[in-house]
A = this chain, B = another copy of it.
Amino acid sequence: LDYQHVQVPFEITLWIMLASLAKIGFHLYNKLPSVVPESCLLIFVGLIMGGIIYGLNDRSPPVMDSDIFFLYLLPPIVLDAGYFMPSRPFFENIGTILLYAVVGTIWNVFGIGFSLYGICQVKAFRLQDVSLLHNLLFGSLIAAVDPVAVLAVFEEIHVNEKLHILVFGESLLNDAVTVVLYKLFRSFCEMPTIKSVDVFAGVGKFFVVGLGGVLVGLSFGFTAAFTTRFTKDIRVIEPLFVFLYSYLSYLTAEMFHLSGIVAIISCAMGMKRYVEANISLKSHTTVKYFMKMWSSVSDTLIFIFLGVSTIGENHEWNWPYICFTVIFCLIWRALGVLVLTFFVNRFHVNTITSKDQFIIAYGGLRGAICFSLVFLLPDFHRKKLFIAATTVVILFTVFVQGMTIRPLVDLLAVKRKRESAPTVGEQIHIRFLDHLLAGIEDISGHWGQYYWKDKLEYFNSKYLQKILLREYDQPKSSIVLLYEKLERKHAIELAQAGQLGHGPAHPSFLCSAFLCSSSDRTVITDQKLEETPNPDVLDNMQEILARNLYRIRRTGPAYSRHTLPGDSEPTEQAKEILILRHKNL
């Protein structure tokens, strides 16, 4: 037996296997995951595992290595989040998200830090040796909302898209703030005296870390898109580039002490559009599938490790400090959300309701990032106290808040996510209004989001697409592409039902039959068709209209991290379309 030789890959494989089997186990009992979030179950499995290891070895089980977490487990989750990020709600709310992520996080850090310092001054608690700087350092690591925990919980409760993107976007973008503040306080702790210059340098660093991350991410993203221009003959390695470049962007950002999370998200969002157009359909399926798979496994492993690492003798228990940490985390987040939302609502027509505010505050879950950061702290005599407090905060937020948020959402009747994506009619109107608003903003001289969006789109079609896309001709509009996708699905449905039409569907006959059946709705279009006999335009029009006749068609379910779009789509839909078609003729 030669275990040493294969130990590393063997144990990694076994852990992944355990994680996957645990997932299968939960889903075998359908009722369990609908009551308890999967993250709680996984931590529970981890606790049991940790207990077994502790019992057998009689020493603390290994804690999750911070390097493994930041270098191998976190990137797949963030990549997945960035790649499947719904860009419209994200950019529509970018101002609010940034406000929560930057100002909100700073507010929380200083609020928690100073109030814990206040607690430390109470002599009865025996905490007078914890300095203000150490409290602020602790505040900087405990304040940040965790994207992994937020995703795990919010995906299951299906709140409306705006609410989701506000909490989720905040949890992603606060990474830049956390990185800066954490490193700042850590270096302050080691400095003998702090000059005011250092404080100003810290403020300047925010911009460097955040914008630097965006820059690194975008440059790698565009390089990735450019590389996939040349993969036509070796389709098989196309998916690799998506993963390699995004991972490189993360590592490069980390190397220069920039925000890796921000970098990988910018990379994914920057490349997505061009890569999708360049690579083959099968490559794209593989990319999407593997991203989901990887992030799902990483996420599972993180929660299991979190459970395992909790067991052991790393903790120093001090009731007041730990209890007050939990209380302050809740209070300062609630206050922060209230105050910030007050300002946000003054400048927006579409306000954030008080129910939404409550869910934003309540959804501020902490997770593995805090946990890894607290283990990365330099050794000092109260480190074990901080570890204990962090563990309690994480378990409290994941278990108590995570398990009660769903009943609360039900109770408060928070606006839910609409189950179906907008119809094409709606999409056309939205696009029309976008153009209109861009025009209004241009005329009125108000350079708002629509103006910039329009400019960006112009720049994209004028320069970027020519460089980054392989076949650059007039690109098809997304609606036409959607129609093609639906038509393909419909054809597959027909083939599976064994009803593929063998009759020669003569175009003109088809066309007239189609126009006849939809005559009541297409009067205007008909006239337009007569004026513009351009066959391309005509085809597109027909496609758009044909699409619009069935209101129930969806453009794919709204984003969720553990399913692939189209996977859960009911087959009834396609059959319904088939029946409607037959009736039309």
Residues of chain A at the chain B interface (Cβ within 8 Å):
1-3, 5-6, 8-10, 13-14, 16-17, 20-21, 23-24, 27-28, 30, 67, 71-72, 227, 230-231, 233-237, 239-241, 244, 247-248, 251-252, 254-257, 280, 282-283, 285-286, 289-290, 292-293, 296-297, 484, 487-488, 490-492, 494-496, 498-505, 507, 510, 513-514, 539, 562-564, 567, 581-582, 584-585
Contact = CB atoms under 8 A, between A and B. Distances in A.
Contact of A6 (B251, B505, B582): B251
Nearest to A228: B24
A248 B13 contact: yes
B289 A562 contact: no
B502 A505 contact: yes
A257 B6 CA distance: 11
A28 B28 CA distance: 49
B504 A500 contact: no
19 contacts: A6-B251, A6-B255, A13-B244, A14-B248, A16-B240, A23-B237, A24-B227, A24-B231, A30-B233, A234-B296, A235-B564, A239-B293, A280-B567, A282-B567, A286-B286, A286-B290, A487-B500, A502-B514, A502-B581
A567 B10 contact: no
Contacts of A23: 234, 237
A74 to B, nearest CB: 12
Contact of A285 (B16, B20, B282): B282
A376 to B, nearest CB: 11
Contact of A484 (B237, B496, B567): B496
A390 B251 CA distance: 38
Contact of A510 (B28, B502, B584): B502
Contacts of A9: 71-72, 247, 251
Nearest to A4: B255
Contact of A501 (B237, B501, B584): B501
A233 B34 CA distance: 13
Contact of A491 (B13, B255, B491, B567): B491
Contacts of A5: 67, 254-255
Nearest to A28: B230
A27 B293 CA distance: 30
A491 B484 contact: no
Given A6-B255, A234-B562, A235-B567, 19 more contacts: A2-B256, A8-B71, A9-B247, A10-B252, A20-B240, A20-B244, A23-B234, A24-B231, A24-B237, A235-B563, A236-B289, A282-B289, A282-B567, A286-B286, A484-B496, A487-B498, A498-B539, A499-B504, A501-B504
Contacts of A514: 502
Tallying the copies of this chain within the complex gives 2
A11 to B, nearest CB: 10
A81 to B, nearest CB: 15
B582 A504 contact: yes
A10 B285 CA distance: 26
A254 B67 CA distance: 29
Nearest to A485: B495
A28 B280 CA distance: 18
Contact of A502 (B72, B235, B513): B513
A248 B72 CA distance: 20
Nearest to A232: B27
A496 B492 CA distance: 12
Contacts of A581: 502
A462 to B, nearest CB: 27
Contacts of A498: 487, 507, 539
Contacts of A496: 484, 488
A491 B495 contact: yes
Interface centre among A252, A293, A564 (most CB of B within 10 A): A293
Contact of A286 (B3, B235, B247, B285): B285
A236 B562 contact: yes
Contacts of A6: 71, 251, 254-255
B251 A27 contact: no
A202 to B, nearest CB: 18
Contacts of A17: 244, 248
A239 B285 CA distance: 13
User: In the complex, which of the residues A16, A30, A236, A492 has the most CB atoms of chain B within 10 Å of its own CB atom?
Assistant: A236
Contacts of A251: 6, 9-10, 13
B247 A296 contact: no
Contacts of A28: 230
A234 B285 contact: no
Contacts of A2: 254-257
Contacts of A290: 239, 286, 290
Query: Which of A24, A231, A297 has the most chain B CB within a 10 Å cutoff?
Result: A24
Contact of A490 (B13, B231, B248, B500): B500
Contacts of A296: 234, 236-237
A5 to B, nearest CB: 7
